[in-house]
Structure 1
């Protein structure tokens, strides 16, 4: 085949990709990565600190310092990985290549994170765990950013964009339900009779980190029609300065990220204070597992309802309803939710409301990426879509800091008796502080004004530019 014929073939493939029609089955396959990823990641989020202190036997002060430094590095790497993806040109597609490479590195690093090395000093072990934590989470960001960068191409109409985003988030929520039901019993069973159960954690991670890898391969295969080699013209790739400019001048993206920061801070704070509430206010620690199941089920139902609301009212109104509901139910929990089951129910409703935004966030970030490309003439989907993880990372730091400072402010000391003052303080921290974060997100999203009709015009202009370049 001649060079000219190769160019013609590439142009034909580009046209086919731009006219791609998303099926329900392909949307489901694209979201398949969330299952293994969620079952792997939830253990790392929920149990890693416990694993370090109670199984690896590192001191709490060292663990706290480790996690703070590691999370800062993780947050900083988010935009950097997006920029690297955008500048890359690997053989299996601009974004799919990273979906095929990065999850293998993630699997290896996460397995090593849950392996206790022998014969090391405490400092050496801290360095060992930090290296694999940072490397693993950096490549998680490569995996996440590359897959989310393909959301605008997978969903090239408003209806299909909402479908692929909601299907992805439904898979994520389903993995969290599975996690709440099977993770701890499975870890204990795999560990057998070991006192500290190091083997149980290691084998669990071996299974589900590998499943994460397989899930990403399925997702990469599902995305093959929209990310063929040569689809993204090199002259359409922005420079580093242009990428930064696309972010800082994209008012829609900044507003969305601030709203997401409020939503995630509220959700993470709500989950983080549950143990304190049930110990000091409700006095029934046995309900903690049921509480987390309530949050997960509420989020799952919100994921199912959110897309239906978005189809009728649009994404902005769906966000507004969700953030208002999240704040409303949290405030209500402070006044009438002192009873254990009432707190559980109202927290579940707050999680359901948060799920509205979670179900469509991928679609809204895709809209912001299209706006950036239309405005500048350069595609920076990698950097824009990677920033969808940034509010989560910052919310983790904020919610953790709020927990420490707020508990200190009310005079809390671990193991102290539940005095009326402590009960009042914990109830306020567990409900009103997350509500403040949700109100912040609600106010921010009111200023988001990227309209769907305008987006349709923008996408037509982008398509016309691409055909001219081809």
Structure 2
């Protein structure tokens, strides 16, 4: 009798998926505000700190990002494997504890990136490599768990799209406040070295606070009972069976075509977006001759990115997520393509960047909705549900894109003969302009081609979820019969 009641409760949850409260959605978005305070500070300003404040060679500075982000990519996969194969799941859930454990260390490590001491150049390079690599590892622990949690919060497709929109608005808000606030804090202090450190401390405190508030106000409404039971059985059998289970999960990733398409799409779009973010400060300082223009115009440009995120449910309902994604890439490519030829002032830079960020806001927000869909697709296709491994595979490619975004500007700056805090040659200025505009155009166009091969339409996803629901109901009935 108890088994029947339990089954009916679970069935009710499947037929009427959890509708999240506004508080939960706000808290989930706030989690990404905190993540971006901690992450974007390094992604936006660390290259300039390395080259213009510490005095590292741009090639060396680019190498820090390349090595650290490739390491992070593998760390993401390892963290995803760890999360998926945890056996003792406490009352906090499978994913939430990692947000709690990683928050404070993440803040401390972020500040350490901007506290390179005035010692020998070799010691400074070692400090830069070690601090950024360790920071990235801890960030993987926090962020993989945070992203993997979305499918456990709701199985309602509409709610997932809204949750993704909230997350992306949080991401854009974190990026906006970091971009607007960091340099003014630096300029308030007597030296750039002190200014960068103080600004990092401010955003570290804010980032940790946001993550802890998010942790306290979100919860995991669903768990995979079959996976938990399997994990318990593996624990009794031994490590050999555990290894087989892990390998089975990885094999399922390579059979997940939508995941592979999404991973490659992010490799192009995320690297393009972050290259533009990193190089815009060089562009403003040496081409437009006013570095503070980035802080002012960011209110407008990131406002358009947030608007793009907010419009995701509207466009998704009318066009579908796939067609909205392709349309967003087209907007981005056209805007930056025209901007390359016409940008010659702060106003034109703000205008073309705003339009391109609108397209990027759509893309970034859709990514979080699509990754939840491909988790369900993977379970439907392979009978293996692995949120952690799927999400970490996705972030693996995002980290590779960040490796490109951090290293390519450094390498190009070295190639074009960039000299910190001096007037640049015409060749150097043209190289900086190309990084800001042409690199994003190439990324957007390549992504448009890739997304034509993305197979999950709205109708396809509905069929997948109905099939999965039938499987789960049958599995619960079978387990109830076995217990009886």
**Residues 399-410 of structure 1 aligned to structure 2 (within 5 Å):** 399-403=405-409
Alignment partner, residue 99 of structure 2: 99
- Once residues 101 and 429 of structure 1 are traced to their aligned partners in structure 2, the CA distance between those partners, rounded to angstroms, is 38
Partners of 1:204 and 1:273 in 2: how far apart? 19
Tell me, what secondary structure is at the counterpart of 1:252? helix
Structure 2 Cα separation of the partners of residues 402 and 127 of structure 1: 20
State the 1:45 CA deviation: 2.0
- 1:419-458 paired onto structure 2 within 5 Å: 419=426, 426-458=432-464
How far 1:166 moved relative to its partner? 0.3
Q: How does 1:74-223 map to 2 (within 5 A)?
A: 74-89=72-87, 90-91=89-90, 92-116=92-116, 123-124=122-123, 126-187=125-186, 193=190, 195-198=191-194, 201-223=196-218
**What pairs with 1:4-403 in structure 2 (closer than 5 Å)?**
18=14, 19-52=17-50, 63-89=61-87, 90-91=89-90, 92-116=92-116, 123-124=122-123, 126-187=125-186, 193=190, 195-198=191-194, 201-226=196-221, 232-235=227-230, 239-278=245-284, 281-282=287-288, 285=291, 287-403=293-409
Q: Judging changes above 3 Å, is the alpha-carbon distance between structure 1 residues 426 and 173 closer, same or farther for their aligned structure 2 residues? A: closer
CA RMSD of aligned residues (A): 3.4
Taking a change above 3 Å as real, the CA distance of residues 266 and 87 of structure 1, as seen in their structure-2 partners, is same
Q: Which residues of structure 1 form unaligned runs of 5+?
A: none
Per mean C-alpha deviation after superposition, the further-off stretch among 256-265 and 345-354 is 256-265
Give TM-score, length-normalised by structure 2: 0.82
Distance in 1 between the 2:19 and 2:41 partners?
36
| CA positional deviation for 1:173 | 1.0
Give the SS at the match of 1:309: helix
Larger mean CA deviation between 92-101 and 223-232 belongs to 223-232
Instruction: State the alpha-carbon separation in 1 of the partners of residues 34 and 361 from structure 2.
Output: 20
How many Å apart are 1:340 and its aligned residue?
4.4
Q: Residue deviations 1:434-469, cap 9 Å, x none?
A: 211110011111111212222223223333434424
What secondary structure, in the 3-state scheme, does the structure 2 residue paired with 1:379 have? coil
Q: Are 2:144 and 2:388, in contact at CA under 8 Å, matched by a contact in 1?
A: yes
Name the SS of the counterpart of 1:226 in structure 2: coil
Mapped partners of 2:383, 2:281: distance in 1: 50
Higher relative contact order (CA 8 A, sep 6+): 2
User: Is the Cα–Cα contact under 8 Å of residues 67 and 403 in structure 2 kept in the other structure?
Assistant: no
Offset, 1:39: 1.9
1-structure distance, mates of 2:183, 2:393: 32
On the 8 A contact 1:277/1:426 being kept in 2, the answer is: yes
223-232 or 206-215: which moved more? 223-232
Query: 2:207 and 2:142 mapped to 1: Cα distance?
Result: 11
Preserved contact between residue 148 and residue 385 of structure 1 (Cα < 8 Å): yes
Work out whether residues 31 and 215 of structure 2, in 8 Å CA contact, stay in contact via their aligned partners in 1.
no
Instruction: Note the C-alpha offset of 1:322.
Output: 0.4
Contact 2:62 2:410 in 1 (8 A): no
* Structure 2 unmatched ranges of 5 or more: 232-241, 480-484
TM-score by length of 1: 0.84
Question: Is the CA contact (8 Å cut-off) linking 2:18 and 2:156 kept in structure 1?
Answer: no
Indicate the larger mover: 171-180 or 262-271. Answer: 262-271
How far has the Cα of 1:386 moved from its partner? Answer: 2.5
Deviates more, 1:154-163 or 1:107-116: 107-116
Q: CA deviation at 1:27?
A: 1.2
1:298–1:348 Cα contact (<8 Å) kept = yes
Within 2, Cα distance between the matches of 1:11 and 1:211? Answer: 43
